[in-house]
Structure 1
């Protein structure tokens, strides 16, 4: 792939959604009453549940210290007395869905995110997960995964979760350089990361993922090379190589290192060097930000064109029903989206009263569903075909923009469909924006997105 020109970088390095949903959360417009949400959950399960099952995302928001780069919903505390009240609230929320769904709904997967899921003790996690497992029919191909902090993921955590069906673990590494770690308040020695990986593999985990970030303060090409040298030695099965999202208006802690951030052109060189090193180590680019080794299930899904994407990122699970449990978590039930209240204490209060915790939602129109399908096909497979109904909705402005992308060597398209070329993959978010009709009807400048490149 040829290097990105300075002109294209300047033109397209603008704020754009990551498209883990369509419409993206800021453009949800059609709010639902609780009874409407319940009806759509039932409808989705009736249509897809028996065949595909349900995937659960469980948000576990507590962290013992603040990582200043982080944009996640979290609460900083060293008080572990908060664990069980929160776990009980999540269990009550799951019970509200059990009251909606058929007896023993089929379970296609669980992902524990945060915050720091390994802030919670193995015993607390076990109580919650045993309740979920015993109340469902766990499908044979179910995928259970969790996010672990290398500093506090113990052998007991790993063994407990393995015994409950977990086979994938993701460690937030970000960078191995000490100056970078100090700036982002995420100090974790290489020995800790190695120990966490070794323990997972000894126990029998099938996939270890690293989250790495480029564009952090004090990063240089030399420090990037050293980080990737250590990554190569540890050989994770998957790597998420994210662009640092600098949003100090939303996350004031990011201001502390603002003057040490690389310039935009330097940041792009960091990505290109990282990708070059990953390719040399045998990793395949799955899509936006994600890489995997041959033989990993994500790699296989990419080759077989069976890759999917949801609020958790790329996945091999075909389930169209993702239920989010916990504060701030997001659900996608194909016909609608819903997000729980972000405030932890309010969430626990709502659960105690037996209410649904939805704070915002969006009922999908038929056009929303069609555009979502198209965008996900582009993000997962880099190509799509126009169906007759959608073809009539494209409009002259979209055709003109596609011609511009084609002239720039980023895509190929005709009256049957389009394909994103290798040179266009870095601009995939910009390409998807062209089809975002919800964004076009609103003033996107009012909303905060990270830059596309």
Structure 2
């Protein structure tokens, strides 16, 4: 079967596997805060000294609605909200500090959104300095943030650099003016160029561009032109994401009609063109949607088989504890997950009263922990050993299913090990799905749970 036929066959709804079990299988029960913090402390005690911890901070405010976006956000031009929200973040952090009972070693810190650069530079510094005040920094710590090219100023870049940031990710999406008009995100190439060069001049060692294929009004010509412009700047990393059309979840996407969005064949053509351009420019496929140049730490981590994946996407070091701060943030404590309430006022009220307000969570069984590790091995290290503890949870049909993938040159497999081929990198999500027992035995279909793999 040729590559195009394989892409058509495996272009089905599949999770992105930023967690296992994936969020739709957590249920809606709110976990008890006391139970959650016990797991946090256990994970912290096991891993803080050896690997440090990760911290994700969700900054939900945006001045304008990007209609393609499915993130949790609040649209406002009132910057008076900044101080109160930062106060709440620091109060929530103190709850975790009290739980740890010793100083955490921060290995990774990421500001996401929303639009982190909605916040004034001095307020971002106040936030970061507050997080660092009673913490230690790992010798190989990495701080990163998501920047909107239209409102990321040189002052933002310098202020964040001064408190330890060395990586920035810009949401570019597409340079075509018509596509930008429809998704309500007009930004010129000159603007993106200016903030990219400014980051490099200040000293950032890694600049990422987020690009999306399958957007409304997008055509082959616009993707080709976008990559031509990208080639002038050569960001260190590129995330080439599939547009997830989920209007049942995101009201902003309801303004599009089906006629605006490329059909399956058209979207595959956009995907193929993007992959061709990335290869021509010298980017290597690191894993699901992520590409990097050989000098970048993400590529180096892939080669050293020390990539990790969590709710922040791919990262270069394996921390067992990810603390998510802010409304809607998700934390991963190895043996459990918890998500904060999404409503800003309810989040702030709880934090200012020294409480967590959890919206949902999940405590992993022994089986879940083993399967989680297996899926991470596939998606991060391109290989999986069939250990005795994993074999106990493999479905009866797994050998036949894996043999199909082997016959299609997507993997190589024997009784001891699975290895993902270069061709198989396109199908990481599909390979991981075979080990997803929650999805395999789900009573309802997954068509409205997840976006298609391509």
TM bucket (normalised to shorter chain) is over 0.9
Instruction: Return the offset for 1:363.
Output: 1.1
Give the TM-score taking structure 2 as reference length.
0.96
Q: Which residue of 1 aligns with 2:57?
A: 58
Mapping of 1:237-276 within 5 angstroms?
237-258=236-257, 259-276=259-276
* Alignment deviations for residues 133-186 of structure 1 (CA, whole Å, 9 cap, x no partner): 111011111100000000000111111100000000000000011111111111
Instruction: Return the offset for 1:362.
Output: 1.0
Mapping of 1:33-432 within 5 angstroms?
33-258=32-257, 259-432=259-432
* Alignment deviations for residues 98-144 of structure 1 (CA, whole Å, 9 cap, x no partner): 11113321111210000000001111111111111111011111100
Instruction: Return the offset for 1:444.
Output: 4.4
The alpha-carbon distance between structure 1 residues 71 and 85, as it changes in their structure 2 partners (threshold 3 A), is same
* Alignment deviations for residues 379-437 of structure 1 (CA, whole Å, 9 cap, x no partner): 11221111112123213222222222223332221210212222222222122111111
Following the alignment from structure 1 to structure 2, what is the Cα–Cα distance between the partners of residues 363 and 355? 20
Following the alignment from structure 1 to structure 2, what is the Cα–Cα distance between the partners of residues 12 and 280? 25
Are positions 1:449 and 2:447 aligned together?
no
- SS in structure 1 of the partner of residue 4 of structure 2: coil
Q: Which residue of 2 aligns with 1:13?
A: 11
| Preserved contact between residue 285 and residue 425 of structure 2 (Cα < 8 Å) | no
- SS in structure 2 of the partner of residue 80 of structure 1: coil
Give the TM-score taking structure 1 as reference length.
0.97
- SS in structure 1 of the partner of residue 360 of structure 2: strand
* Alignment deviations for residues 253-285 of structure 1 (CA, whole Å, 9 cap, x no partner): 213233211111111111111111111111111
Structure 2 residues not aligned, in runs of 5+: none
| Preserved contact between residue 211 and residue 238 of structure 2 (Cα < 8 Å) | yes
Task: Give aligned pairs, total.
Answer: 451
Segment of structure 1 superposing worse, 289-298 or 101-110: 101-110
Following the alignment from structure 1 to structure 2, what is the Cα–Cα distance between the partners of residues 444 and 157? 46
- SS in structure 1 of the partner of residue 193 of structure 2: helix
Following the alignment from structure 1 to structure 2, what is the Cα–Cα distance between the partners of residues 113 and 138? 20
Are positions 1:22 and 2:20 aligned together?
yes
| Preserved contact between residue 332 and residue 338 of structure 1 (Cα < 8 Å) | yes
Structure 1 residues not aligned, in runs of 5+: none
Segment of structure 1 superposing worse, 43-52 or 30-39: 30-39
Q: Which residue of 2 aligns with 1:438?
A: 438
Instruction: Return the offset for 1:31.
Output: 5.9
Following the alignment from structure 2 to structure 1, what is the Cα–Cα distance between the partners of residues 53 and 438? 27
Instruction: Return the offset for 1:352.
Output: 2.0
| Preserved contact between residue 30 and residue 359 of structure 2 (Cα < 8 Å) | no
| Preserved contact between residue 143 and residue 317 of structure 1 (Cα < 8 Å) | no
Following the alignment from structure 2 to structure 1, what is the Cα–Cα distance between the partners of residues 236 and 289? 14
Segment of structure 1 superposing worse, 349-358 or 172-181: 349-358
* Alignment deviations for residues 43-77 of structure 1 (CA, whole Å, 9 cap, x no partner): 11111111111110000000000001101000111
- SS in structure 2 of the partner of residue 294 of structure 1: coil
* Alignment deviations for residues 192-233 of structure 1 (CA, whole Å, 9 cap, x no partner): 101100111111001000000011122222211111011010
| Preserved contact between residue 406 and residue 413 of structure 1 (Cα < 8 Å) | yes
Following the alignment from structure 1 to structure 2, what is the Cα–Cα distance between the partners of residues 130 and 311? 23
Segment of structure 1 superposing worse, 327-336 or 410-419: 410-419
Following the alignment from structure 2 to structure 1, what is the Cα–Cα distance between the partners of residues 10 and 26? 25
Following the alignment from structure 1 to structure 2, what is the Cα–Cα distance between the partners of residues 345 and 445? 35
